Chain A
Amino acid sequence: MNAIITTAVWGVVMMFGGVFFKGKDTPRYAAIAGIILVLIANCLEMNDQVFFSPDLHRMFEFKPFGLLFNAVAFACTLLYFLLNGRDVARVGSNVSEYFALIFFVLCGVSIASSFNTLLTLFLGIEIMSIPLYILTGSDKRNLKSNEAALKYFLMGSFSTGILLLGIAFIYGGNELASFNINDLNLAGRMPAMIGVGMLLVLIALAFKVSAAPFHFWTPDVYDGAPTVFTSFMATIVKAAGFIAFLRLFSKSFGVLHEQWQIFIAIITAATLVIGNLTAVFQQSVKRMLAYSSIAQAGFMLFAIFALNDDAREGLILYSAAYSLATIGLFAILIRLEDYTIEGFNGLGKRSPVLGVTAVIFLLSLTGVPGTAGFMGKFYMLMAALKNGHHTWLVITAVLMAAVSAYYYFRVIQAMFFREAGTLSAEPRDITPGFKLLLIVAAALVIMIGLYPEMLLYWLHS
């Protein structure tokens, strides 16, 4: 509850603050202060210190799992603000509003991690999505940004329609006439109406997490949106989508897991194959990362596929690993003028800190042991295998992980094994603080990779 309230309040503060903030950097500092506040508030709630405890009529339920995810999301946002705060200011003149929108998205994220009814699910997802439409189009003069916003908006709304139709059918099929996700008394049997509704909801959520074949918006939107917002969208928001997905399907439909597992399996396989294979071809690192986010989503789908404790823990790990690495990579990418792979040529020599941290992030995304990404993948595969008979899916996944090495390592090769061309511009605005933050992020990636208990400790205690 703390997180929802503070994010919403701080969002409003930032929105109106735009009128009063004088200094160029003031919105950034305010945002950083806000996110720290949100993080603290969330941590307090993790230790049962709640600001308010109104009667929620079972609309929300705050469990350690959701709170832990919130903490991860907020911490990543903090890192994101610290790394990319200046770049947000560069997108346009309404800096304060951008931050406000991000806070609203975070509010949606906190709802998505704690919703207890289909209504709150719907609200959470919309609160996450609508600000993103705006952020995507925030580079108003840029046609790419316009196009991305339009595409995102149209397809997002379309999927909202599907989500709602699904919710309506579920409601219609539920004899208890309740939207509460715990009230779906399935008891081993799936009424046709609920079945249809579930499939529709599944599709809508698959769209949100950009799973194939509902991923088509992802590359274009991530490519067209201002890079700094792509970074946010592709990481924290996507992870929140998965949390919502997992929460709904484990609570509502968990008992009939066997019946719908095959859909997830198909979607997972398709996502892995399409995401990884298409990423291979990309010449632009930004677009490559967009496809990589699809590919990584394929792995995260294993959490929903497996639906057990390992999967839940794995999802947290995966979210943290993926978000840290991707935010770090985007932060570096933003500082380079040239988004093509050639733009990375010789970066390792020109700027060793950037190079080495980028390597760590890329290794983590590939899933090389010793990095957080490995632990994420490891938990996912473990969960999937524990669940039973779809070994073929796991094998597909690891083969695709090997394919993913292809495009991630192209960047590594460019940075360390190729010489910089004469045209390659120096990365700009590299301050010692920025480097330090990258090192911190890289260190976190490695520490989580070596001792994931660090993150999961709170779930176990």
Chain B
Amino acid sequence: MRTIFEWIWLVPVLPLVGFLINGLGRKHLSKTMAGIIGSGTVLGAFIISLLVFMAVKDGSGAVTVPLFTFIDTTSLHIGFSFGADALSSLFLLIITGVGFLIHVYSTAYMHEEPGKDFAKYFAYLNLFVFSMLLLVMGSNFVIMFIGWEGVGLCSYLLIGFWFTNNNYNAAARKAFVMNRIGDLGFLLAIFWLLSKTGSVEYSEVFSSATLQKLSSADKTGITLLLFVGATGKSAQIPLFTWLPDAMAGPTPVSALIHAATMVTAGIYMIARSNALFSMAETTQHIIAITGLATALLAATIAVKQNDIKKVLAYSTVSQLGFMFLALGAGAYTAAVFHVMTHAFFKALLFLGSGSVIHAMGGEQDIMQMGGLKKKMRITHLTFLVGCLAIAGFPPLSGFFSKDAILLQVFEHNKLLYALGLLGAMLTAYYMFRLYFLTFNGSFRGTDEQAHHVHESPAAMTLPLIVLAVLAVIGGFVGIPEVFMANGDRLHHFLAPVLSSEKAVHGVSHSEEMLLMGLATGLVLVAVILAYVQTRKVVQKENTGFGKVLARKWYVDELYQAIVVQPLRQLSAFFNSIVEKKGIDGFVNGVGKAVQYSSRQIRLLQGGQVGVYVLLMVLGILALFIIQMFL
């Protein structure tokens, strides 16, 4: 049993090696080689992860594997060490598993790139996997933070992968900067922990002895700052606007980073710190409300988007909101469960949309699509599965995870539940709107596009199929008690880590069934509504509230007005007034004053002896006067 943990360092190192080989040899590697190296290293990591997962499942749970000392001073001890427990091993599986599929998919999707860029792409992707693995494997907050910033960097690199386009670059920059805002919160939280507990190791920080030392203000402060970190990475209000823009990157990247893995880092972090969060009620409320607000806001925006990837992006934001809602309600397992199922179906949806875009020759506007179900059978089927899963049709995976969340929220607060239900309806509506517009009806694009449309190659469809299967069966690890005793295996698996999970007591089985029925019914209504509305496609300008939604609630404009512009004006003020006229003006003014006084004093030297003598005599008198007064 021990042996596999001794090899655990290989999990992140393999992708790192892939990154180095692809990165350094990008000019010399053939596309095939680059693809094999890229995917192969992740596959290797997946296999080890699987072994680790099995070991954790069978074994006693948490294992810490110290690698080397990172920072060790009199007051600060940070080891570079990895931890393997239920939570991290589950995430390892998701990351490497979905990651591998997306690597494979990418070999086909990116095939038209020149060889150099192809290898570069895989290098970035591998680097991302490496960082993400660090993030979840670290046994302390600093290692997590290293991965945390690392994934942000990779996200930046991949969003701006086609760096010729400056809009893409701007999107990449926006993503990085917004992430950094969150990172600052995370960082401050780490410092707070350090200054109060003297440690960043999970095992020490979350021990009950340590937790008792913290005052409630400390707990609230730390958790709030951690949550600020999470809002950045997981695209929650107020730091969510980067994620839709991040769709500028290649679609597989969107699938991997901006749907399945990176954006869930915030959930991972909070779930990881559940012991702390459960003791901070205020923060819990804030998380729940923020999550729900994000879910609804993003869902309403998604309703009016016409870009296939944008819809999915807002959908992701919305789903992440649900997860935060769960976290806020203390339903950590449900949140993690949703992370997992979401990884499956959202990756599936993104890859499916990638397949569509690939087939359409780069077209992303769903108004230009339609009727693709005949031409792209596999894509269509798998996409449909994804839509059903995300909408929460039983017994697909989304049903179970969403149900778990809603159930606990119901217990937590009825109003939140009601709004959550609304969110679920909206989800079903915009997803099926997307589905119908894309695959149903008649083709609305140009003839050229119509001619071009084709089913994608096997390297792309195979991952779709695998993910579709997972999206169907992924929910069975968490079957609620009401259907099957001890069906919620995920809960039992995660229990040692998520020990502060609130158990559901106040809802009877019949109530639970009723709630499920209600949710499913509402979703069905939403789907029908979507079908009805998309039967006749009319291109028309959005007006009134629709326009507000189409323009994304004007959030970007708001940020421009209240943050970006003032900052720019302040900087301009600093630069042109304070710096040039103020400080430098003062420094130069000293020089000028010296020159000026020099010109004035020289006038004493008028050349007339009489004046000189007079001045001397005055000097003498002055000295005598001074003497008299002393």
A219 touches B623 (CB 8 A): no
B609 touches A154 (CB 8 A): yes
A281 touches B595 (CB 8 A): yes
Q: B597-630, CB under 8 A of A: which get 1 and which 0?
A: 1110110110101011101101110111011001
B626 touches A263 (CB 8 A): yes
When chains A and B are docked, how far (Å) is the Cα of A406 from the Cα of B595? 10
B595 touches A280 (CB 8 A): yes
A207 touches B627 (CB 8 A): no
Interfacial chain A residues near B615, Cβ < 8 Å: 213, 216
Contact of A195 among B612, B613, B619, B627 (CB under 8 A): B627
**Chain B min CB distance to A20 (Å):** 40
B594 at interface (Cβ–Cβ under 8 A)?
yes
When chains A and B are docked, how far (Å) is the Cα of A195 from the Cα of B623? 12
Interfacial chain B residues near A274, Cβ < 8 Å: 601, 604
When chains A and B are docked, how far (Å) is the Cα of A124 from the Cα of B101? 103
Interfacial chain A residues near B623, Cβ < 8 Å: 199, 202-203, 263, 266
Given contacts A213-B618, A216-B605, A220-B607, contact A155 B624 (CB under 8 A): no
A155 touches B612 (CB 8 A): yes
B620 touches A203 (CB 8 A): yes
* CB closest residue in chain A, given B612: A216
Contact of A281 among B591, B598, B619 (CB under 8 A): B598
**Chain B min CB distance to A408 (Å):** 14
A213 touches B598 (CB 8 A): no
Given contacts A151-B609, A155-B616, contact A216 B604 (CB under 8 A): yes
Q: A406-443, CB under 8 A of B: which get 1 and which 0?
A: 10000000000000000000000000000000000000
B594 touches A280 (CB 8 A): yes
When chains A and B are docked, how far (Å) is the Cα of A161 from the Cα of B620? 13
> Chain A CB within 10 Å — which of B605, B624, B630 has the most?
B605
* CB closest residue in chain B, given A202: B623
A339 at interface (Cβ–Cβ under 8 A)?
no
When chains A and B are docked, how far (Å) is the Cα of A196 from the Cα of B623? 10
Interfacial chain B residues near A150, Cβ < 8 Å: 609
A359 at interface (Cβ–Cβ under 8 A)?
no
A119 at interface (Cβ–Cβ under 8 A)?
no
A158 at interface (Cβ–Cβ under 8 A)?
yes
Given contacts A199-B623, A263-B623, contact A281 B602 (CB under 8 A): yes
Interfacial chain B residues near A196, Cβ < 8 Å: 624
* CB closest residue in chain A, given B627: A199
* CB closest residue in chain B, given A152: B609
Contact of B626 among A195, A216, A217, A266 (CB under 8 A): A266
Interface size on A, residues (CB 8 A): 32
Main secondary structure of the interface of B (DSSP, over half): helix
Which residues 131-184 in A have Cβ within 8 Å of B in the complex?
Answer: 150-151, 154-155, 158, 162
Given contacts A195-B627, A219-B605, A266-B626, contact A278 B619 (CB under 8 A): no
A220 touches B598 (CB 8 A): no
Given contacts A151-B612, A263-B627, A266-B626, contact A162 B620 (CB under 8 A): yes
Interfacial chain A residues near B598, Cβ < 8 Å: 277-281
Interfacial chain B residues near A200, Cβ < 8 Å: 620
Q: B580-602, CB under 8 A of A: which get 1 and which 0?
A: 00000000000100110111011
Contact of A278 among B602, B609, B611 (CB under 8 A): B602
Main secondary structure of the interface of A (DSSP, over half): helix
* CB closest residue in chain A, given B607: A220
Given contacts A162-B620, A214-B619, contact A277 B605 (CB under 8 A): no
B616 touches A220 (CB 8 A): no
**Chain B min CB distance to A222 (Å):** 12
B609 touches A213 (CB 8 A): no
Q: A222-240, CB under 8 A of B: which get 1 and which 0?
A: 0000000000000000000
Q: A268-283, CB under 8 A of B: which get 1 and which 0?
A: 0000001001111100
Interfacial chain A residues near B595, Cβ < 8 Å: 280-281
Interfacial chain B residues near A214, Cβ < 8 Å: 616, 619
Given contacts A151-B612, A216-B616, A281-B599, contact A403 B594 (CB under 8 A): yes
Interfacial chain A residues near B624, Cβ < 8 Å: 196, 199
> Chain A CB within 10 Å — which of B607, B609, B630 has the most?
B609
A278 touches B605 (CB 8 A): yes
When chains A and B are docked, how far (Å) is the Cα of A155 from the Cα of B258? 90
Q: B85-96, CB under 8 A of A: which get 1 and which 0?
A: 000000000000
**Chain A min CB distance to B248 (Å):** 51
A213 touches B619 (CB 8 A): yes
When chains A and B are docked, how far (Å) is the Cα of A220 from the Cα of B591? 26
Which residues 241-282 in A have Cβ within 8 Å of B in the complex?
Answer: 259, 262-263, 266, 274, 277-281
When chains A and B are docked, how far (Å) is the Cα of A439 from the Cα of B611? 43
Interfacial chain B residues near A155, Cβ < 8 Å: 609, 612-613, 616
Interfacial chain B residues near A262, Cβ < 8 Å: 626, 630
**Chain A min CB distance to B624 (Å):** 7
**Chain B min CB distance to A441 (Å):** 30
Interfacial chain A residues near B591, Cβ < 8 Å: 406
Interfacial chain B residues near A199, Cβ < 8 Å: 623-624, 627
When chains A and B are docked, how far (Å) is the Cα of A200 from the Cα of B621? 11
When chains A and B are docked, how far (Å) is the Cα of A279 from the Cα of B594? 10
**Chain A min CB distance to B616 (Å):** 5
**Chain B min CB distance to A318 (Å):** 24
A213 touches B616 (CB 8 A): yes
Interfacial chain A residues near B611, Cβ < 8 Å: 216
Instruction: Identify the A interface with B (CB < 8 A).
Output: 150-151, 154-155, 158, 162, 195-196, 199-200, 202-203, 207, 212-214, 216-217, 219-220, 259, 262-263, 266, 274, 277-281, 403, 406
CB-defined A-B contacts under 8 Å, sample of 11: A155-B609, A199-B624, A212-B619, A213-B622, A216-B605, A216-B611, A219-B605, A263-B623, A274-B601, A277-B597, A277-B598
Besides A277-B597, A278-B601, 6 more A-B contacts (Cβ < 8 Å) are A195-B627, A200-B620, A219-B605, A281-B598, A281-B599, A281-B602
Give the 8 A-B CB pairs with smallest separation, nearest first. Answer: A213-B619, A216-B612, A281-B598, A280-B598, A277-B598, A278-B601, A278-B602, A151-B609
